[in-house]
Amino acid sequence: MTRAIAIGLLALVVCGSRALVADGAKTTKADVDRWMTELSNWGRWGKDDQIGTLNLITAEKRKQALRLARDGVSVSLAHTLDKEQFPDNPRPIGQQMTLDAAGHAMDLYTIWYHGSTITHIDALCHYSFEGKIYNGFARSEIAQGPGCPSNGIERQKNGIITRGVIVDLPRMKNVPYLEPGTAVYASDLEAWEKFAGVKIGSGDALFLRTGRWAQRAAKGPWNVAANAAGFHASVMPWLKQRDVALLGNDAVNDVQPSGVDGSPRPIHQLAIVALGLPLVDVMDLEAAAETAARLKRWEFLVTASAVPVPGGTGFPLNPIATF
């Protein structure tokens, strides 16, 4: 089979998968399990690849993204850490302060970042399916520890420099926030493209604002891990078609509940394991959304870098948008 034919057949498979679940509410675990194969990027960048869709951020893509920093206005996309216990923060960061004999202040942090209030990026060893992690490495290797021998966060050491696109659905719908449990479909993303005059493409970082922090400020914290607006599983074929390199939102990316019986976090499973698509959970997109609206520009340079802990399943992150 020629490469051109193979690519054409892959496109038909992806388009067909999307057509089968045009009504996202009908998505089943069987659909998710089938997409694990149909949408897989295993081997796409070689059998030893451990950075997945970050390969889509090419040197040319970085140079194009750098040209988006026209105004020189930078905005953090991270939530400032909470030190108190809340319904969405059951394990607050611990900070132990010390002063040495010379009077130098130091501190020791204890942190559980895979939660609902600390902005973090997931490494490609964070999720597994049928005993495998991204690109076919054995999950059993992780148990031998410490850390993940393959797909650890240190593989992302060179950082992320690309075009970021914010999708601000509450602004488009003229509401302060999306109600918890609201599912976001491919049709919503396409409606946003028309509204904002942008087209999401290869190597982009796509960030969805649901207004979670606006709702929290107005009504107080709640258990976001169990009830939050977010992406429905049926967007995954669309994201594969567009070759999105990085995906994030202001909650846990997956709509919660997921709406797919037997698959509580299908976005995490499909993105991390099948596509090798890193996720940024728990972003704070409020300031960026306001800046984008003021400048009338929904694309920007995004830069981010996690501390390269060998074998880490992720790390806290402070992504920066520069307009």
- Tell me the C-alpha to C-alpha distance, in Å, between residue 73 and each of 80, 128, 305, 309, 317: 19, 39, 19, 30, 19
- CA-to-CA distance for 73 and 96, rounded, in angstroms? 34
Of residues 247, 249, 267, 250, the one with CA closest to residue 258:
267
Residue extents of the structural domains in the chain:
3-84+118-322
- CA-to-CA distance for 203 and 211, rounded, in angstroms? 25
One-letter identity of residue 292:
A
- CA-to-CA distance for 150 and 144, rounded, in angstroms? 12
Radius of gyration for the chain, computed over Cα atoms and rounded to the nearest angstrom: 19
* pTM (global) more than 0.85: yes
**Residue-wise pLDDT tens for the chain (323 aa)?**
333 334 333 443 444 444 434 545 589 999 999 999 999 999 999 999 999 999 999 999 999 999 999 999 999 999 999 999 999 999 999 999 999 899 899 999 999 999 999 999 999 999 999 999 999 999 998 977 789 999 999 999 999 999 999 999 999 999 999 999 999 999 999 999 999 999 999 999 999 999 999 999 999 999 999 999 999 999 999 999 999 999 999 999 999 999 999 999 999 999 999 999 999 999 999 999 999 999 999 999 999 999 999 999 999 999 999 99
Fold of 3-84+118-322: Glucose Oxidase; domain 1 (3.50.30)
- CA-to-CA distance for 236 and 248, rounded, in angstroms? 13
Q: According to the 3-state scheme, what is the secondary structure of 132-196?
A: ECHHHCECHHHHHCCCCCCCCHHHHCCCEEEEEEEEEHHHHHCCCCCCCCCEECHHHHHHHHHHH
Contacts of residue 52, Cβ cutoff 8 Å, sequence gap at least 6: 41, 45, 124, 134, 135, 275, 276, 277, 278
3-state helix, strand, coil in the chain (%, to 5): 35, 20, 45
- CA-to-CA distance for 295 and 73, rounded, in angstroms? 10
Do the beta carbons of residue 180 and residue 174 sit within 8 Å? no
Residues 7-60: pLDDT tens digits? 333 443 444 444 434 545 589 999 999 999 999 999 999 999 999 999 999 999
